[in-house]
Amino acid sequence: MREIGVGILGFGTVGAGVVEGLLQNGELIAGRCGIRPVVKRIADLDIVSDRGLAIPAGVLTTDAAAVIADEEVDIVVELVGGTTIAKQFTEQALAMGKPVVTANKALLADHGAELYALADERDTGIYYEAAVGGGIPVLRAQREGLIGNRIEHIFGILNGTCNYILTRMELEGLPFDEVLADAQALGYAETPPDLDIDGIDTAHKAVLLASMAYGAPVPMEACPTSGIRGLSKEDILNADELGYRIKLLAIIKQLDDAVELSVEAALVPKSAMIGSVNDSFNAVFMKGDIVDDTMYYGRGAGRLPTGSAVISDIMEAAADVIQEAGTPTGITMMREREVLSYLPADEVRKRCYLRLSLADEPGAMAQVMHVLGEHSINVASVVQKEQHSDGLVPVVVLTEQARERDFCEAMKRIVGLSICLAEPVRFRLEDFEDEGC
Amino acid sequence: MREIGVGILGFGTVGAGVVEGLLQNGELIAGRCGIRPVVKRIADLDIVSDRGLAIPAGVLTTDAAAVIADEEVDIVVELVGGTTIAKQFTEQALAMGKPVVTANKALLADHGAELYALADERDTGIYYEAAVGGGIPVLRAQREGLIGNRIEHIFGILNGTCNYILTRMELEGLPFDEVLADAQALGYAETPPDLDIDGIDTAHKAVLLASMAYGAPVPMEACPTSGIRGLSKEDILNADELGYRIKLLAIIKQLDDAVELSVEAALVPKSAMIGSVNDSFNAVFMKGDIVDDTMYYGRGAGRLPTGSAVISDIMEAAADVIQEAGTPTGITMMREREVLSYLPADEVRKRCYLRLSLADEPGAMAQVMHVLGEHSINVASVVQKEQHSDGLVPVVVLTEQARERDFCEAMKRIVGLSICLAEPVRFRLEDFEDEGC
| Partners of residue A146 in chain B, C-beta under 8 Å | 137, 308, 312
**Average pLDDT value for chain B:** 93
At residue A385, the pLDDT reads: 82
Q: Which of B14, B290, B337 to mutate to test the interface with A (most CBs of A within 10 A)?
A: B290
Query: Cα–Cα distances in Å, from A184 out to A81, A113, A135, B182?
Result: 19, 34, 22, 54
At residue A336, the pLDDT reads: 65
pLDDT level of residue B191 (50, 70, 90 thresholds): confident
Q: Which CATH architecture has domain A138-299?
A: 2-Layer Sandwich (3.30)
Q: How many residues appear in chain A?
A: 437
- How far is the C-alpha of B76 from the C-alpha of B90, rounded, in Å? 8
H or E element that contains B336: none
Min Cα–Cα distance to chain A from B172, Å: 17
| Partners of residue A336 in chain B, C-beta under 8 Å | 28, 31-32
Touching check for A360 and chain B: CB below 8 Å?
Answer: no
Reported CATH class of domain A2-134+303-323 = alpha beta
Please give the DSSP secondary-structure letter assigned to residue A273.
G
Bond from prior residue into B192 cis (ω within 30 degrees of 0): yes
H or E element that contains A152: strand A151-157
At residue B332, the pLDDT reads: 52
Mean pLDDT of B284-302: 96
Bond from prior residue into A192 cis (ω within 30 degrees of 0): yes
Q: Which CATH architecture has domain B348-429?
A: 2-Layer Sandwich (3.30)
Output the DSSP codes for A337-405: -S---B--GGG-EEEEEEEEEE-S-TTHHHHHHHHHHHTT--EEEEEEPPPPTTS-EEEEEEE--EEHH
Domain spans of chain A, in order of start = 2-134+303-323, 138-299, 346-429
At residue B328, the pLDDT reads: 59
Angle at A21 between CA A96 and CA A47, to 5 degrees: 65
At residue A434, the pLDDT reads: 54
Catalytic hit among B40, B98, B105, B205:
B205
* Span A278-333, pLDDT tens digits: 999 999 999 999 999 999 999 998 899 999 999 999 999 998 888 765 555 545 54
Touching check for B2 and chain A: CB below 8 Å?
Answer: no
Q: What does R_g of chain B's alpha carbons equal in angstroms?
A: 24
* Span B205-254, pLDDT tens digits: 999 999 999 998 899 999 999 999 989 999 999 999 999 999 999 999 99
Decide if A299 and B291 are in contact by the 8 Å CB cutoff.
Answer: yes
- How far is the C-alpha of B133 from the C-alpha of B264, rounded, in Å? 17
Angle between the A13-33 and A303-323 helix axes, to the nearest 10 degrees? 50
pLDDT over 90 percentage in chain A: 84
At residue A320, the pLDDT reads: 86
At residue B354, the pLDDT reads: 98
- How far is the C-alpha of B220 from the C-alpha of A293, rounded, in Å? 31
Q: Are B277 and B247 in contact (CB under 8 A)?
A: yes
Among residues A274, A294, A265, A228, which one has the least CA distance to residue A431? A274
Q: Which residues of chain A have pLDDT under 70?
A: 324-336, 433-437
Q: How many residues appear in chain B?
A: 437
Please give the DSSP secondary-structure letter assigned to residue A329.
T
Q: Which one-letter amino acid corresponds to residue A169?
A: M
- How far is the C-alpha of B365 from the C-alpha of B419, rounded, in Å? 9
At residue A386, the pLDDT reads: 80
At residue B33, the pLDDT reads: 86
* Span A76-89, pLDDT tens digits: 999 999 999 999 99
Among residues A318, A163, A324, which one has the least CA distance to residue A245? A163
Contacts of A190 (CB under 8 A, 6+ apart): A161, A184, A196
Q: Are A336 and A215 in contact (CB under 8 A)?
A: yes
pLDDT over 70 percentage in chain B: 95
* Span B77-92, pLDDT tens digits: 999 999 999 999 999 9
Q: Which CATH number fits domain A346-429: 3.90.226.10, 3.40.50.720, 3.40.50.150, 3.30.70.260?
A: 3.30.70.260
Lowest mean pLDDT among A349-353, B59-63, B75-79, B253-257: B253-257
Q: Which CATH number fits domain B2-131+303-323: 3.90.1150.10, 3.40.640.10, 1.10.540.10, 3.40.50.720?
A: 3.40.50.720
